[in-house]
Amino acid sequence: MVRIIGVASHPCGEIVTEIPAEVCTALQGLRSLGGDALLKQMVAVFVEHSRDRMQALEAAVAAGDLAGAASAAHTLKGSARQLGLIAMGDACAAVEQSSKQGDAAATQLHTTAVHTQYTTAVAWLTAATA
């Protein structure tokens, strides 16, 4: 983790919070491609779509639909990694793998980790683009 404290030129702006360097690097990349407008748009799209995918993942796991869980986790994994959310992407990969192996207990456990990572990621992204 990298502690970002009041660095105006940093992609994470004037924030006092811990945001991993890989997230800040990804956000800086988006900002350099399209300015603040693109960065805010990409974050808004991620937050909106990932919320739906999280709900789909959790519903699939609750229903014992391992194929549905794998599909939702796969989509979340790609979206998370595009924004430098490596831990979230890794947790999604674990859900995808355990689902494909038919391991419902491991899928539930990994889904809990995805939920935790998702909640943290939304807080980071919201703070970084405020």
Residues 6+ apart with CB under 8 A from 106: 94, 98
pTM of the model: 0.82
Distances (CA, A) of 104 to 73, 94, 95, 112, 118: 14, 12, 9, 12, 20
Token pair 């539930």 in the structure block, residue: 108
List, for residues 7-47, the tens digit of each pLDDT value: 344 445 444 357 888 888 888 888 888 888 888 899 999 99
Question: pLDDT by residue (tens digit) across 45-77?
Answer: 999 999 999 999 999 999 999 999 999 999 999
**Residue whose token pair is 């919201």:** 126
In the chain the domains, ranked by start, together with CATH numbers, are 2-125 (1.20.120.160)
